[in-house]
A and B are shown apart, each in its own frame.
Chain A
Amino acid sequence: MSEEKKTHKWEMVIDLDRCTGCEACVVACHAENNVRISGEDEAAQGRAINWIRIERYWEGEYPDVRTRFMPVLCQHCDDAPCEPVCPVYASYHTPEGLNAQVYNRCIGVRYCGNNCPYTARQFNWFDPHWDEPLAEQLNPDVTVRQNGIMEKCTFCVQRIRQGKERAEKEGRPVRDGDITPACVQTCPTSALVFGDRRDPDSRVSKLARQDRAFHLLESVGTHPAVTYLKRLT
């Protein structure tokens, strides 16, 4: 299977023991991916769009309360429930294991959003808007999505493309650490690690093999590409 070795399988590891819940990843993702700013009113309605969010859970009873943080983003499932339900192929699986969303195909039936057990998919309820001069900081490599379509984490596919193209130009294979999505790059505690799971020596492969590893909602059988690490106490 030499052909298979050539393609990558992009995966992420999230170390919950390292996550401090600072939400730097959320901000970085907003900046990198032109995620629309929803504003106060829409956020109150539950419509704030986040491609990655920090889920916060409380443990114990007052005063012995502990906070648990869990960053959740699109899990890029191998058997993604969101993909086959799309009637127009807006949601499909790339050969590199990404769960891609084709904005131009999407007609907004929103079945994928319902069928995602992680509620990772977000919908554009209105046309996006940025106050001047905020529009000037928009990333030209990422499409600004219009009203009426679904969107979600892409694992910063534009950065993956860039990394692969640079490596090709320099005539070398993509090295581990060449490609970092915005959230991974920003994480101050390096709780997020990204890489090629087909490469057994990549950091992501090594971490995912640890016995702390688990998948979110593993029982649903979606085979997520995001592995969480958590020490059992």
Chain B
Amino acid sequence: MRPVTEHEMTVRALFKPSVYLESLVAKLRDAGVPEDAVEILSPLPLHKAALLRPARVPLHVITIIAGVVGISLGVMVAGGTALLYPIVTGEKPIVAPPVLGIIAFETMMLVAIVTTFVTMLVRIRSESRNAAERDPRIDDGFIEVILSLPTDSARFEMVRDLLQQTGALEIRHRHPTPSVPHGAEREGRVTAAVLVAAWSLCGMQACSRDMQEQPSYQPQEAPRLHSPVGSVPRESRSVLKSLPTQQLVDEGAGLFRINCSHCHGMDGTGNGLVIAYLKEKPTDLLAPDVQALSEAALYDTVTYGRSVDGRDVMPPFKGEMSAEERRSVVMYVKSLSQP
């Protein structure tokens, strides 16, 4: 149906279903009304209807093209994704031809049917007349013929006579206002929403956090089972060898590098890497008052940490190092003052 312009008028005629439409259309053509200005509305498909303007591309061609697209989609989805992320399962090949066949068959059908449907929708909408023009009596078994004529009273009279001769029950005419496309804005919004949803889907993670919190004891986790207050480690300080051996000091040096040096510095002077971020400067371990402390006092500091005026300035290392390790660190600190 070609678009209605402002210089045209619409003539609507209601007919009984027994009207012989072919001759009517032929007569109208003789009267100078082109075929594409005639529209027939009916409650049922009229298989013998005189005018059927065939579409430029027949629907079945679109279906076939869509089917081919669907096949390639299926091959891409079933074979392509397997190649993108090849995972061996059993002795099945990564790309298995029977699987491609099955998936490609389904996607072929899916794309073909959906495309046919969507094409049909678009065409039905484009062929649609303004619903207000439609006579509700059509549903009760009448046929309405709508003509678009140039605004020309002589020709109108002639056409009206012609329609009346053919048996029109009722003839009405009016100058239509061009129909305003409606719903475009809403459709645009819906499309935008779908696109946003699809885009956000791309960022989705394929991993879950379902089993992230494990009930088992994890590395770096604070100890769960604490020793009762007042208990002494089985291998306590008193039973340890009292003399610092070179091996003990070396081990202590390693542990000092790992646990202490970022604050106290590699040389123990308190110039570690992080002091710029500390409110309280770390103690210079080479200072005479520190070196004057007993091994036991140093051990306690390493074990329980240190607080000044109620603020913790050094954390306890009870959880990080065993009793023996803490003692070797103390040995190392003591050895710093020796040349």
With a cutoff of 8 Å between Cβ atoms, the chain A residues found around residue B219 in the complex are 140
Check A13 for interface membership: any CB of B closer than 8 A: no
Check A185 for interface membership: any CB of B closer than 8 A: no
With a cutoff of 8 Å between Cβ atoms, the chain A residues found around residue B90 in the complex are 77-84, 93
With a cutoff of 8 Å between Cβ atoms, the chain B residues found around residue A7 in the complex are none
Interface residues of A in 151-185 (CB under 8 A from B): none
Check A205 for interface membership: any CB of B closer than 8 A: no
Partner of B89, one of A89, A103, A143: A89
Interface residues of B in 193-210 (CB under 8 A from A): 207-208, 210
A118 to chain B, nearest CB (A): 14
Interface residues of B in 80-108 (CB under 8 A from A): 87-92
Chain A, residue nearest B88 (CB)? A93
| A86 and B207 within 8 A (CB) | no
Check B236 for interface membership: any CB of A closer than 8 A: no
Number of interface residues of A (CB under 8 A): 31
With a cutoff of 8 Å between Cβ atoms, the chain B residues found around residue A84 in the complex are 89-90, 92
With a cutoff of 8 Å between Cβ atoms, the chain A residues found around residue B210 in the complex are 104, 146
Size category, B interface: 10 to 19
User: A82–B225 Cα gap in the complex (Å)?
Assistant: 41
Determine chain B's interface SS by DSSP, over half rule.
loop
| A89 and B87 within 8 A (CB) | yes
Partner of A144, one of B91, B216, B224, B225: B216
- Return the CB mask of A111-145 against B: 1 if under 8 Å, else 0: 00000000000000000101001011011101111
Partner of B214, one of A89, A130, A133, A140: A140
Which chain B residues have a beta carbon within 8 Å of chain A's beta carbons?
Answer: 87-92, 207-208, 210-211, 214-219, 224-225
Which chain A residues have a beta carbon within 8 Å of chain B's beta carbons?
Answer: 34, 77-84, 86, 89, 91-93, 95, 103-104, 128, 130, 133, 135-136, 138-140, 142-146, 223
23 contacts between A and B (CB under 8 A): A34-B216, A79-B91, A80-B90, A82-B90, A83-B88, A84-B92, A91-B89, A92-B87, A92-B88, A95-B88, A104-B208, A130-B215, A136-B217, A138-B215, A138-B216, A138-B217, A140-B214, A143-B214, A144-B211, A144-B214, A144-B215, A144-B216, A223-B91
